Structure 1
Amino acid sequence: MSTSANDSENVLFSSVHRSSLVMQLLQLTIDRPVIDYIVHCVSETVDQALGRSDLPSSSNAAFTSFVSTVLVRSAETIAAVLTSLSYISRARSNIYIPSIEWALERVFLGALIVASKYTSDSTMKNVHWAACTGIFSTRDICRIEREFLAVLDWELAVSEGDLLAHHAGLISATSNSNSRAARNHTRSHLKVPSSKTAPQPKPPQ
């Protein structure tokens, strides 16, 4: 099981804990805007590896659901998610993807599993990761992890710069979502004037 967010932060972010920008990232919750940002980053990495300009929207919709399911079931910390985003960016120049089949899921899982084990001394076993996916077997998970470690060349350390490379994108995504929610909340509380007109007096007979 994953440790608390504070434990993960102490392991990974002890050297940068005074950075207000890093602390701002650590205060994010893993909600839909963050999930959409993860999907965007993984899709860009896979697109580049395959030489594609974009992926079909239906693939992204299914993948978004997969990412959400895995993150909910694994109860991962924001520290692990931030680390996985750094790994995904780092892998972009080295990763080789021979086929689109399950490519998005494999890149996401490889990054998240390695990040989880790097940021926490007490993380899930691969058999539990397999259960979280509902798709891959334990053998698949072991292979995905090994392949992603090879892509990273076992260079797992993450710098403040690696984290802050995602600051603008994440803060923008969450800020836009909060702004939309605030506007919807305001509209829902506005009183709409009645369209009915007051009755007109009858003309004198």
Structure 2
Amino acid sequence: MSDVQALYIFLRKPVSTEMIDFLVSTTNSIIQIQPTSLKKYNETPPLSKFIQNLITYSHVQTPTLMSTLVYLTRLGSILPPNSTGMETTRHRIFLGALILAAKNLNDSSPMNKHWCKYTDGLLSLKDINALEVELIGYLGWQNLRITNLDLLNNFSYFLAPIKSKLRKQMDLKLSKDLKSGEANWSW
């Protein structure tokens, strides 16, 4: 029931609403948004819907989607707490982190022109190219590497129930083995 076992199980799970909600919450915590009256930004979809659409269009899997969390956490620790942005800033931050995660983890990931289509017209190709470069500028090339420790630290919310379930399964097996006299005590 190690952290690595739980991580392996978690990363094999399908993308869930709980994961999306956690990513929305994390993204929302990074930067405050200034209200605007511009028509385009009033049509901005909720961040949860935006993320769900990106997942549907790109077929992103749990490891890539959740590795986005590592970049979001890093960005949150870099930006000043009083930072503010426009209505689409959180969408841009999330997409930038997702693009970096996809390009970092996968041999083949969507090109920026495809990500542009996945935003349903919210962002242009120029916007997407710029946000990718900006995010790399904030994080730095040296901070794009993701380690197992990064995953364990960022996914602890999801790993705790898995570890608990593994622990219960192990206890149940040991209990059954003790009752049947089949316990293997190899020290």
- Scaled by the length of structure 2, what TM-score is found? 0.71
Query: Tell me, what secondary structure is at the counterpart of 1:28?
Result: coil
Aligned to 1:20: 5
**TM-superposed deviation, 1:171:** 4.7
Identity over aligned pairs, percent: 25
Aligned to 2:26: 41
**TM-superposed deviation, 1:94:** 1.6
**TM-superposed deviation, 1:27:** 1.9
User: What amino acid is aligned across from residue 38 of structure 1 in structure 2?
Assistant: L
Partners of 1:34 and 1:116 in 2: CA distance: 17
Q: 2:30 matched to 1:74?
A: no
> 127, 136, 142: which one pairs with 1:149?
136
Unaligned runs of 5+ in 2: 35-44, 163-187
Q: CA 1:125 to 1:173, structure 2 compared with 1: closer, same or farther past 3 Å?
A: farther
Aligned to 2:171: none
**TM-superposed deviation, 1:104:** 1.0
Partners of 1:19 and 1:163 in 2: CA distance: 10
Cα root mean square deviation, aligned: 2.8
> 104, 115, 119: which one pairs with 1:133?
119
**TM-superposed deviation, 1:45:** 1.5
Partners of 1:24 and 1:89 in 2: CA distance: 22
Q: CA 1:173 to 1:21, structure 2 compared with 1: closer, same or farther past 3 Å?
A: closer
Query: Tell me, what secondary structure is at the counterpart of 2:87?
Result: coil
**TM-superposed deviation, 1:172:** 6.7
**TM-superposed deviation, 1:98:** 4.4
Unaligned runs of 5+ in 1: 1-17, 51-60, 175-205
Count residues in correspondence. Answer: 149
Partners of 2:52 and 2:149 in 1: CA distance: 26
- Contact (CA 8 Å) 1:33, 1:173: kept in 2 or not? no
Partners of 2:126 and 2:16 in 1: CA distance: 30
Identify the range of structure 1 (161-170 vs 66-75) with the bigger mean alpha-carbon deviation: 161-170
Question: Radius of gyration: which is bigger?
Answer: 1
Partners of 1:173 and 1:85 in 2: CA distance: 19
- Scaled by the length of structure 1, what TM-score is found? 0.65
Query: Tell me, what secondary structure is at the counterpart of 1:33?
Result: helix
Partners of 1:99 and 1:85 in 2: CA distance: 20
For 1:118-197, list aligned pairs within 5 A: 118-134=104-120, 135-154=122-141, 155-171=143-159
